[in-house]
């Protein structure tokens, strides 16, 4: 396991981790981003998580991460150095990508959005245009034509919308969204009504926005779904041409591989 690479996506809700070995991609694990961490508690959480999965941290060769939460990124960097004995590399600080950033203010683009666009283009080089739809704390639509990141849309996230609705209303519960029916039905109780509304509402939003974005991009246009519920929504959402649940982690691996080939 000497060549094991740790890939980490620090989002607003979860810290997703994956161990990549030659010829194999490991299981994706997660820790809550909003936990109250110190360097030591985060480092110990990482060690405990690896121990459960039989990973000897002394055999890790490198770590690459992407973060949209600066405070947690700083803690993670120190925890890696103290507990994993690694000096992690981060995107975009330690990497450059061969993609034109067409955003009006390029520095405003979230690292996760730009990395998802880069990964989508590398994984799907044939279509002239791409739309990456990431279902995270927010739902983001990121558009690429040729090798240019064009920008996109930022919409509410499914789970954050559910939590906001439950906290802002007196009689609507915080429901589970586990499981997706293949056809919309008329809800006969509050929990079913809400679940149907959220799942099929977000599926319809995705279909409608992708259709509108397609009209502004030269074809063919290829749509990739990623993030928390992309796999579940793929059964009811007609917008997706492919689903890559961990596109950002794949993008980190692609960055590392390109850097290794150049060195």
> Which pLDDT score, from 0 to 100, does residue 245 have?
92
Question: Is the model's pTM score more than 0.85?
Answer: yes
pLDDT tens, residue by residue, 114-156:
999 999 999 999 999 999 999 988 999 999 999 999 999 999 9
In CATH, what is the architecture of 4-94? 2-Layer Sandwich (3.30)
Of the residues 112, 134, 142, 246, which is catalytic? 112
> Which are the contacts of 207, defined by CB distance < 8 A and separation ≥ 6?
237, 238, 239
| pLDDT band at residue 93 under the 50/70/90 scheme | very high
Evaluate whether the domain defined by 100-251 bears CATH number 3.90.79.10. Answer: no
In contact, 166 and 172? CB cutoff 8 Å: yes
State yes or no: pLDDT of 229 exceeds 50: yes
Cis peptide before 62 (omega within 30 of 0): no
Please identify which residue in the block is written with the tokens 């290829």.
Answer: 222
What integer is the mean pLDDT of 183-202? 83
pLDDT tens, residue by residue, 99-111:
999 999 999 999 9
Q: Where are the domains of the chain?
A: 4-94, 100-251
Residue 241 annotated as catalytic = no
């Amino acid at each position: 396991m000497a060549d094991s690479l740790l890939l980490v996506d620090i989002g607003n809700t979860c810290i997703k981790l994956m161990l990549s070995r030659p010829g194999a991609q490991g299981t994706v694990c997660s820790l809550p981003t909003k936990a109250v961490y110190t360097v030591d508690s985060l480092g110990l959480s990482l060690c405990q998580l690896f121990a459960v999965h039989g990973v000897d941290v002394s055999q890790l060769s490198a770590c690459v991460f992407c973060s949209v939460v600066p405070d947690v990124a700083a803690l993670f960097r120190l925890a890696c150095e103290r507990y994993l004995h690694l000096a992690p590399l981060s995107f975009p600080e330690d990497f450059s990508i061969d993609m034109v950033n067409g955003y009006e203010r390029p520095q405003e683009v979230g690292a996760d959005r730009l990395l998802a666009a880069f990964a989508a283009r590398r994984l799907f080089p044939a279509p002239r245009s791409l739309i990456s739809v990431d279902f995270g704390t927010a739902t983001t639509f990121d558009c690429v034509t040729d090798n240019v990141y064009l920008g996109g849309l930022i919409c509410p996230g499914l789970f954050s919308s559910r939590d906001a609705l439950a906290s802002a209303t007196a009689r609507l519960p915080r429901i589970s969204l586990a499981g997706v029916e293949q056809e919309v039905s008329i809800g006969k109780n509050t929990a079913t009504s809400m679940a149907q509304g959220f799942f099929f509402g977000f599926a319809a939003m995705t279909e409608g926005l992708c259709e509108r974005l397609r009209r502004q991009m030269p074809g063919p246009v290829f749509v990739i779904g990623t993030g928390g519920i992309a796999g579940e929504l793929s059964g009811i959402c007609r917008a997706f041409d492919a689903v890559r649940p961990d596109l950002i982690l794949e993008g980190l691996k692609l960055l590392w591989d390109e850097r290794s080939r150049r060195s």
